[in-house]
């Protein structure tokens, strides 16, 4: 078990290193952030503009060779020094952790909705296999999986904000601001959990131990909740964990559409503003969350099926 965990941790560190390295060099192709801070007053001479431009590049550390910048970046990162935001002029950790609670609240609400709505929907569909409820749940799950989040967000805004005027289109504050973003973000998870819960329940209901329990005269409620649901829940747990990285990635789109002041929206704005330090810390944060999720999922598999550790 210890060797398995160590091996997975090393793989996780390698993935984070490769992702951050790739982003470090790709983001420099987008342009020079120093040019955004230059005062282009027409009354200024080209020499003054160039002098200010060079000074800004020097302060940002962009006057050095990219390889040297890369080495300095990792030296500071290993010391947990993520630098200052070019845009806000404060430490990047301050900028991100001010917005992180909003993203966690949105992601947590979406996760709860995904489980609370998806699990019962899948169970009911399995228990009424072949019925109208099963058909509707299956079609709804497929539709929820294939519908792009940004398209769904626009539709919800048009219906509930523009037409009915029931919910706000953007911002944060009251619980009403959370409804549309959380519903949009959770739709794919609800559909996925429902589909897997249905499949897991159908498989569990066909097992010998369920038939034996029924033959012994146990009540149908006890058979379903005491045997089938308990043994079919593993697939739901694993698919929920495996869906979290997708949830983390989708939160960027949802936050941008609803102007939700979270880390995802900050990342999109920072990319447009070429705010390298904030983008790097955002990437590290998203990468760590994704890798940790997969690591937890691997550990769950190992605890349930010890054969996995030998693969």
In a domain, 6, yes or no: no
Say yes or no to pLDDT of 180 above 90. Answer: yes
Say yes or no to pLDDT of 36 above 80. Answer: no
In a domain, 180, yes or no: yes
pLDDT for 310: 52
In a domain, 90, yes or no: no
In a domain, 135, yes or no: yes
pLDDT for 37: 65
- Asked whether the beta carbons of 149 and 254 are under 8 A apart, the reply is yes
pLDDT for 309: 53
Residue the block writes with tokens 């131990």: 209
Domain count, the chain: 1
Say yes or no to pLDDT of 302 above 80. Answer: no
Say yes or no to pLDDT of 82 above 70. Answer: yes
**What's the pTM value of the predicted model, to 2 decimals?**
0.78
Domain containing residue 175: 100-274
Of 152 and 49, more confident: 152
What CATH number does the domain containing 174 carry?
1.10.3720.10
Say yes or no to pLDDT of 35 above 70. Answer: yes
* Residues in the chain, overall count: 311
Average pLDDT, the chain: 82
pLDDT for 182: 93
In a domain, 187, yes or no: yes
In a domain, 111, yes or no: yes
Say yes or no to pLDDT of 155 above 70. Answer: yes
**106-115, 153-162, 250-259, 300-309: lowest mean pLDDT where?**
300-309
Which tokens go with 101?
């609670």
What mean pLDDT comes out for the span 37-47? 76
Say yes or no to pLDDT of 137 above 70. Answer: yes
Say yes or no to pLDDT of 216 above 80. Answer: no
Per-residue pLDDT tens over the stretch 257-279: 998 999 999 998 888 887 888 88
Residue 237 exposure: Cα atoms within 13 Å on the Cβ side: 14
Of 114 and 239, more confident: 114
pLDDT for 181: 93
In a domain, 234, yes or no: yes
In a domain, 52, yes or no: no
- Asked whether the beta carbons of 297 and 14 are under 8 A apart, the reply is no
State the Cα–Cα distance between residues 149 and 250, nearest whole angstrom: 8
Q: What is the DSSP letter of 31?
A: -
State the Cα–Cα distance between residues 49 and 38, nearest whole angstrom: 7
- Asked whether the beta carbons of 194 and 125 are under 8 A apart, the reply is yes
Reference 206, options 102, 298, 126, 276; nearest CA is: 126
Residue the block writes with tokens 């790097």: 280
Q: How confident is the model at residue 232 (pLDDT cuts 50, 70, 90)?
A: low
pLDDT for 287: 83
pLDDT for 266: 92
Which tokens go with 107?
């992601």
Per-residue pLDDT tens over the stretch 188-214: 888 888 888 888 788 777 777 777 777
pLDDT for 6: 81
Reference 208, options 194, 227, 195; nearest CA is: 227
């Amino acid at each position: 078990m210890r060797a398995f965990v160590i091996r997975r941790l090393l793989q996780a560190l390698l993935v984070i290193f490769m992702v951050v390295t790739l982003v470090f060099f790709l983001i420099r192709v987008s342009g020079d952030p120093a040019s955004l801070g230059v005062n282009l007053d027409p009354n200024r001479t080209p020499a003054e503009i160039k002098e200010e431009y060079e000074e800004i590049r020097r302060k940002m550390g962009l006057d050095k060779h990219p390889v040297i910048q890369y080495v300095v970046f990792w030296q500071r990162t290993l010391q947990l020094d993520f630098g200052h935001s070019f845009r806000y002029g404060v430490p990047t950790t301050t900028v991100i952790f001010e917005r992180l609670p909003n993203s966690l609240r949105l992601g947590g609400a979406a996760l709860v909705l995904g489980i609370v709505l998806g699990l019962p929907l899948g169970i009911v569909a399995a228990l009424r296999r072949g019925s109208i409820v099963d058909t509707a749940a299956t079609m709804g799950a497929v539709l929820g999986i294939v519908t792009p989040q940004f398209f769904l967000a626009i539709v919800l805004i048009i219906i509930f904000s523009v037409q009915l005027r029931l919910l706000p289109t953007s911002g944060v504050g009251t619980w009403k601001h959370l409804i549309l973003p959380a519903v949009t973000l959770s739709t794919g998870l609800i559909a996925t959990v429902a589909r897997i819960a249905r499949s897991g329940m159908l498989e569990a209901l066909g097992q010998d131990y369920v038939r034996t329990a029924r033959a012994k005269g146990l009540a149908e409620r006890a058979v379903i909740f005491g045997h089938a649901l308990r043994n079919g829940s593993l697939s739901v747990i694993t698919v929920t964990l495996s869906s979290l990285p997708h949830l983390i990635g989708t939160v960027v789109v949802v936050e941008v559409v609803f102007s939700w002041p979270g880390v995802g929206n900050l990342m999109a704005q920072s990319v447009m503003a070429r705010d390298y330090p904030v983008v790097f810390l955002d990437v590290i944060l998203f990468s760590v969350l994704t890798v940790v999720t997969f690591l937890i999922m691997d550990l769950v598999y190992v605890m349930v099926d010890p054969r996995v550790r030998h693969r």
